[in-house]
Amino acid sequence: MIDFSLSHDQKKLQLKAREFAINEIIPVSRKYDQTGEFPQEVLQKAFDQGLMNTIFPQKIGGPGLGILDTCLIVEEIAAADPGITTSLFDNCLGAEPILIGGTEEQIDRFLKPLTEELKFIAFATSEPGMGSDVAGLTATARLENDEIILNGRKMWVTNGGVASLLSIFCRLEGTKRHEGITGVVVPMDTEGVKIGKPIPKMGHKASNTVMVRFDEVHIPLENILGELGKGFSIAMQTFARTRPTIGAFACGMSRASMEYAIAYAKRRKAFETEIANFQAIQFMIAEMKMNVDAARLLTWKAAWEADQNRDNTISASIAKAFATDYGMKTVSDALQIFGGYGYTTNYLIEKLFRDAKLYQIYEGTSQIQRMVIGRYLLTKYNPIFNKTFT
């Protein structure tokens, strides 16, 4: 059986997020892009309306939504502002390692307080010297009595400057590559945690991005997620669950780009007619729609698999790579339709263009997604034709 329809509740959720995006985000989007201010007020409203922390279980007071539900919400929000979406969704990224590898007690201890008031939890695998190669991370954990002592640096920590907790991946001293990587929850007010200044960025200016340094940070063993040294799998499972959501971010951004391009093409004239009358423009717009729809289907499939607790590693990488790469093409073509005006800061398309680029980079670059898919095809894929026909 196959069914592409959304349930009554999902349609309501989608509409609620859409109205939130139109009423609460679009009016302030430009302001946050220009000032780089953290969108605390917007996030407070999103929190109050149950549009944040979507995957937090109901038993701890969260909305208890699935990944597909989350995709419906973030597509709407990203259509209004990709940068605010990054800040809004980051609590789900920070919480996933706890939901995947943590005990009931840890879920309760770390995540319940985030359902009671607006607080932030960030996520950190990346470091100044590495991002793609997660097994190459170097931040260390030294075991001492009933504590681990953290040392090292984490780079690009989204919401790191505002978070009260951080889900971090580090390695047990003396271990190499995948073995020894350990997930730990770090309260940001622990002695020895030093937070850098916000990193200046080309887009997503409303999201806070910082470096975090750990100098002899003492963390109790009860903050370790899963088994010591077995955190690599938790990090990878996290990405499989969050990558569909990045696909949905890109769908929202692409959809908005397409809609802006259509509206502009209908009113801009050249050669004594609206540019929408040129077939070259119609084809560009048609391709945008083809790519937005294809990206959404791949995203929903990957999200649905995650909600069914299936291994969605491959579908998540396919969705993320397709939606973000074609998202970049869509916004670039949309800007082209705006001609010279697209290159000015007077039109939102310029902001979307800057914001779109990050989607191809964080949570695994487009190249890394292809590496995951390629490795699978060459080692695990079961061919339908299992002999060569010549």
Ligand X SMILES: Cc1cc2nc3c(=O)[nH]c(=O)nc-3n(C[C@H](O)[C@H](O)[C@H](O)COP(=O)(O)OP(=O)(O)OC[C@H]3O[C@@H](n4cnc5c(N)ncnc54)[C@H](O)[C@@H]3O)c2cc1C
CB of 321 to ligand X, least distance (A): 11
Nearer to ligand X, 124 or 184 (CB): 124
Nearer to ligand X, 63 or 364 (CB): 364
Check binding of 362 to ligand X (CB under 6 A). Answer: yes
Check binding of 125 to ligand X (CB under 6 A). Answer: yes
Check binding of 373 to ligand X (CB under 6 A). Answer: no
CB of 324 to ligand X, least distance (A): 12
Site for ligand X in 84-123 (CB under 6 A): 122-123
Check binding of 131 to ligand X (CB under 6 A). Answer: yes
CB of 131 to ligand X, least distance (A): 2
175 within 8 A of 142, measured Cβ to Cβ: no
For the question of residue 274 being annotated catalytic, the response is no
Check binding of 213 to ligand X (CB under 6 A). Answer: no
Q: Residues 46, 98, 114, 124: which binds ligand X (CB under 6 A)?
A: 124
Nearer to ligand X, 110 or 156 (CB): 156
CB of 143 to ligand X, least distance (A): 23
Check binding of 326 to ligand X (CB under 6 A). Answer: no
Three-state SS letters, 69-115:
HHHHHHHHHHHHCHHHHHHHHHHHHHHHHHHHHCCHHHHHHHHHHHH
Annotate 138-203 with DSSP letters as a single string: --EEEEETTEEEEEEEEEEEETTTT-SEEEEEEEETT--TTTTEEEEEEETTSTTEEE-PPPP-SS
Nearer to ligand X, 170 or 258 (CB): 170
Nearer to ligand X, 61 or 136 (CB): 136
Check binding of 158 to ligand X (CB under 6 A). Answer: yes
Name every residue whose Cβ is closer than 8 Å to that of residue 288 and which is 6 or more positions away in sequence.
Answer: 254, 257, 258, 261, 330, 333, 334
If we measure between CA atoms, which residue out of 228, 219, 216 comes closest to residue 183?
228
Distance CA 42, CA 84 (A): 8
Annotate 193-243 with DSSP letters as a single string: EEE-PPPP-SS-TTS-EEEEEEEEEEEEGGGEESSTTBHHHHHHHHHHHHH
Residue with tokens 């289907």: 297
Strand 209-220 relative to strand 193-195: parallel, antiparallel, unpaired?
Answer: antiparallel
Residue nearest to ligand X (CB): 131
CB of 297 to ligand X, least distance (A): 25
| Token reading at 374 | 């390629």
Site for ligand X in 182-211 (CB under 6 A): 201, 204, 209
Check binding of 359 to ligand X (CB under 6 A). Answer: no
Distance CA 287, CA 294 (A): 10
Nearer to ligand X, 128 or 339 (CB): 128
18-28 in b/e burial notation, b at 16+ Cβ within 10 A? Answer: bebbeebbeeb
Q: Which among 96, 127, 305, 363 is annotated as catalytic?
A: 363
CB of 130 to ligand X, least distance (A): 6
Binding residue count for ligand X, defined by CB under 6 A:
23
Give the residue numbers annotated as catalytic, written as ranges.
Answer: 363
Binding site for ligand X (CB under 6 A): 122-126, 130-132, 156-158, 201, 204, 209, 358, 361-365, 367-368, 371
